[in-house]
Amino acid sequence: MNAGPLASPSPGLRPRARPAPSGTRHRSNPYHRKIDRPSACPGNRFRGFNRFRRGRIEINFLPYPVRYEHATSLPALQQNHRQSQDRGDRLSSDEHVQERYPQTGEMPGMWHPAHRYRPEGGEMRIDELSSTAFAKAMEADPIVFLPLGACEAHGPHLPLGTDTFQPEETVTQVAKRVGGLVAPTINYGQHSSTLNMPGTISLTFDTLRSLVKDILESLHRNKVHKVVVLTGHFGSVHRIAIKLACEHATQHLGMKVMMLSDYQLALHLEKEICQGLEDGHGGLLETSRIMDIRPDLVAKERSHGEFVDSGYLIVSDPERCFPKGFSGDAGLASEEKGRRINTYIVDTLTELVRANFEG
Ligand SMILES: [Zn+2]
């Protein structure tokens, strides 16, 4: 889906000098080339300056293309950069997005640098507003979205931030539609079955409940009355901790709070997408969604993982229920399926939010 614009860059951008080396994980993310692509200029000691032709360097890891001409040393580069900025050579983030993605005019995924820094995005993310701008935004009594992510093993084919990217993308899209604000993401959750797997970083139940409770109280002090808490991680203990914090906010602070997991909405499409196949953690649904949101982070080689029921035993090695670290047929995942699921989730959550807060 993103291959079109990249395959035929507009005249302003040079075509790729050569295909990305095999095994690269960031092929479709132009800003991550510096990780995988060695410098095209032998002897160039500055990482990221990956093209050097005819006295011209293009730096691609910034959220906008920067081109220097006839620069051969770092001070010369810095001087050129200042001059380039003075001349207004730098493309704005918006122009860059348009150039790279002319078909949609949108950068896929929320966490892309161009998303984070483009001007209109700043209106929506609380952490990009000034205190004054935030106070002004609060005059409209907006709905505030609080995404909860996780750093959790999701099998060998998905990034640890899988449960972060999904709710972030969802709340970004829904907030745009309903004119809401997005609070900074909580990037950690409580984990049980994947606790001993490499890369899983877990909070305890009490910490998570206190964290969400404190943030909701603080939002309340900031005159926020309507909150949507969306968690990407679907663990039962994790959700109970969040729910208790939300109940405190509704019962003691008089706030109106919705709390759910986007995975709950994804499950509405399980029958259609999975066609009767068993699916679960890091499986077909989640893999497809990440392929739509962050295709650069999904491994090309994907297999089938089983879930092994422990029969109600409380065990010290709960990871035994995921011998491969995930469950479901990730090999059947596709960007198209992910787009279908993500669109459904955004549409459904928008309707729910409107019914709850605007109806
Ligand atoms: Zn997940």
Q: What angle do CA 112, 117, 122 make, to 5 degrees?
A: 120
Cα of 233 vs centre of ligand 1, distance in Å, is 5
Cα of 7 vs centre of ligand 1, distance in Å, is 31
Cα of 164 vs centre of ligand 1, distance in Å, is 8
Cα of 127 vs centre of ligand 1, distance in Å, is 25
Cα of 136 vs centre of ligand 1, distance in Å, is 36
Cα of 161 vs centre of ligand 1, distance in Å, is 8
Cα of 236 vs centre of ligand 1, distance in Å, is 12
- What are the C-alpha distances in Å from 330 to residues 47, 196, 338, 340? 34, 22, 12, 16
Which residues, in sequence order, are CB contacts of 232 under 8 Å at separation 6+?
147, 148, 149, 150, 162, 163, 164, 165, 166, 167, 168, 261, 262, 263
Cα of 296 vs centre of ligand 1, distance in Å, is 17
Whole-angstrom Cα distance, residue 273 to residue 291?
A: 14
Which among 227, 231, 217 is positioned nearest to 187, based on CA atoms?
231
How crowded is the C-beta side of 171, counted as CA atoms within 13 Å? 32
Q: Which two tokens stand for residue 268?
A: 């509405």
Cα of 154 vs centre of ligand 1, distance in Å, is 7
Q: What is the 3-state secondary structure (H, E, C) of the chain?
A: CCHHHHHCCCCCCCCCCCCCCCCCCCCCCHHHHHHHCCCCCCCCCCCCCCEEECCEEEECCCCCCEEEECCCCHHHHHHHHHHHHHHCCCCCHHHHHHHHCCCCCCCCCCCCHHHHHCHHHHCCEHHHCCHHHHHHHHCCCCEEEEEECCECCCCCCCCCCHHHHHHHHHHHHHHHHHCCEECCCECCECCCCCCCCCCCEECCHHHHHHHHHHHHHHHHHCCCCEEEEEECCCCHHHHHHHHHHHHHHHHHCCCEEEEEEHHHHHHHHHHHHHCCCCCCCCCHHHHHHHHHHCHHHCCCCCCEECCCCCCCCCCCCHHHHCCCCCCEEHHHCCHHHHHHHHHHHHHHHHHHHHHHHHC
Bridging pattern class, strands 56-59 and 66-69: antiparallel
CA dihedral sign, ordered 168, 172, 174, 178: positive
Which among 55, 56, 36 is positioned nearest to 47, based on CA atoms?
36
Cα of 309 vs centre of ligand 1, distance in Å, is 18
Cα of 282 vs centre of ligand 1, distance in Å, is 6
Cα of 111 vs centre of ligand 1, distance in Å, is 17
b/e code 62-80 from CB counts within 10 Å (16+ = b):
ebbbbbbeebeeeeebeeb
Cα of 59 vs centre of ligand 1, distance in Å, is 34
Predicted local distance difference test score (pLDDT) of residue 82: 55
Cα of 234 vs centre of ligand 1, distance in Å, is 7
- What does the domain layout of the chain look like in residue ranges? 3-100, 123-358
Tallying the residues shown for the chain, one arrives at 359
Q: State which CATH number among 3.30.420.240, 3.30.390.30, 3.40.50.10310, 3.40.50.10490 fits the domain covering 123-358.
A: 3.40.50.10310
Cα of 165 vs centre of ligand 1, distance in Å, is 10
Q: What is the pLDDT along the chain (359 residues), one digit of tens a residue?
A: 443 444 444 444 444 444 444 444 444 544 443 333 344 434 344 444 444 434 444 444 444 444 444 444 455 545 555 555 555 544 444 554 455 445 555 544 444 433 433 334 444 899 999 999 999 999 999 999 999 999 999 999 999 999 999 999 999 999 999 999 999 999 999 999 999 999 999 999 999 999 999 999 999 999 999 999 999 999 999 999 999 999 999 999 999 999 999 999 999 999 999 999 999 999 999 999 999 999 999 999 999 999 999 899 999 999 999 999 999 999 999 999 999 999 999 999 999 999 999 86
Whole-angstrom Cα distance, residue 89 to residue 67?
A: 8
Whole-angstrom Cα distance, residue 15 to residue 18?
A: 9
Predicted local distance difference test score (pLDDT) of residue 281: 96
* ipTM attached to this prediction: 0.96
Cα of 121 vs centre of ligand 1, distance in Å, is 26
Q: Which two tokens stand for residue 287?
A: 């893999």
Whole-angstrom Cα distance, residue 66 to residue 64?
A: 6
Which among 267, 325, 338, 359 is positioned nearest to 108, based on CA atoms?
338
Predicted local distance difference test score (pLDDT) of residue 105: 57
Whole-angstrom Cα distance, residue 189 to residue 167?
A: 13
Cα of 193 vs centre of ligand 1, distance in Å, is 12
Cα of 130 vs centre of ligand 1, distance in Å, is 33
